[in-house]
Amino acid sequence: MHRRRLRPAIVALALIAGLLAPGVATAPPAAATPSGGKKVIANLFEWNWPSVASECNSTLGPKGYGFVQVSPPQEHVRGNQWWVAYQPVSYRIESRKGTRAQFKSMVDTCHAAGVKVIVDAVINHMSGQDNGGTGWAGSTYQHHVYPGIYQSQDFHYCGRNGNNDIANYNDRYEVQNCELVNLSDLKTESDYVRSRLAAYLNDLLSLGVDGFRLDASKHMPAADIANIRSRLNRSAYIVQEVIYGAGEPITPNEYTGNGDVHEFRYGKDLARVFRSERLAYLRNFGEGWGHLPSGVSSVFVDNHDTQRDDGGVLTYRDRGIYALANAFMLAWPYGSPTVMSSYTFSSRDAGPPSDGNNKTRNTVCYSGWECEHRWPVIANMVGFRNATEGAAVSNWYDNGNNHIAFSRTGRGFITINDEGSAINGRSYYTGLPAGRYCDVIHGTFTNGTCSGPVVTVDANGWFAANIPAHDAIALHQNARLP
């Protein structure tokens, strides 16, 4: 949780018409990258638990998503804004997204569909309400008093800026001991606080959760997170929210010993390239751009914060160019990718579609919910990612501008044309075995058949094609026709 010039995004007709359809124990082993062969995460932001369960069965499992990230499940302050979920009142699994029983049922259903569950866990702070109140599930609280959980001695009071708030991000002490936008800052160096936070995370592990996105990690010393992680009852995937700031003393690299770290520069750089620079520059994208090492980097085109607070990233509103950027992310072997799934919003604070009591409604895709993870370009490229996992990049081609192509050696091939006009009459070397392949940008491969164009790769690994402006072709070994 945190607070250029554009080239016109002319979208290919194909993308519009068909592809954007509506006591401290020994530390458990680190899970620094998502485990298993399916590593793509779908962030179903603010979906309720029955809807997440249904989506695991209908889409996430069948499409090959390895993980679903769900929004904070604990009791929170009342209100209809999205950020109320990031203001804990207690650690009861009872929120506007559903009950404890519904949460447990969701986890079990997702597991049965082959999808693991990551929880967005808020452990840096409690609420930001000066006058206190009553939480979603009826717990009473004050800004620095949470009966049965925390009392005033469990919080930081940095004594700065007249209100204990962070003002100077160049001051390490202030960032980690003052309050983030008035949110009561937990004393994570305290043994009691650490044990209480670990108890919350262990409760979620007892419900079957597979990992945690640790919100606001930058506001906690990495050693505090390491201590809390050491108290977990079993291994869990960990990804930490640490936003890079040029020249700031707290850097994402400090946290890589605990698990993955969000690479916020990725989405901003990718957006800038797609909007106003050249795709040819992406040849060494990732570590070659000064980003975190691939093995500990969690990447995304946008997330729930950046799509609201950072005009530099691509979002669902960019439609075709957003789909292409996600296709590149899923094709390029850097970091662990997360696909954002949003609801439609026009104001920064707007919460998800809700009833009159602010309870989140069941998700209906393309009706108040954007469901980018279902867009055929994005959903089909999850299969590309799975099919090419571990394969190196080879056969890079670029025209010096906005037409690129590359192979994932022996397993997949993609070419993206983000020029303002079609690229016609070219042949492409894929390095793939000869055969007929489903173009998964424009078609879905199911039971040996393709719903879209079929590309024939010859005995020497080549195919010929015309590619419209702002469009692409992608082939992979698991979408080869008999």
**Active site members:** 215, 241
Q: Cα–Cα distance between 120 and 105 in angstroms, integer?
A: 18
Cα-to-chain-centroid distance, residue 176? 24
| Alpha helix (H) residue ranges in 145-277 | 172-177, 191-206, 222-230, 264-276
Q: Cα–Cα distance between 378 and 316 in angstroms, integer?
A: 12
State which H helix or E strand residue 473 sits in.
strand 471-476
Contacts of residue 114, defined as CB under 8 A and 6 or more positions apart, other chains included, come to 38, 61
Q: Are 240 and 214 in contact (CB under 8 A)?
A: yes
State in Å, rounded, how far the first CA of the chain is from the last one.
48
Residue 212 phi/psi, 5-degree rounding, is -140, 135
Q: Are 148 and 89 in contact (CB under 8 A)?
A: no
Contacts of residue 332, defined as CB under 8 A and 6 or more positions apart, other chains included, come to 282, 285, 286, 393
List C-alpha distances in Å: 293 to 108, 154, 335, 414: 33, 35, 8, 24
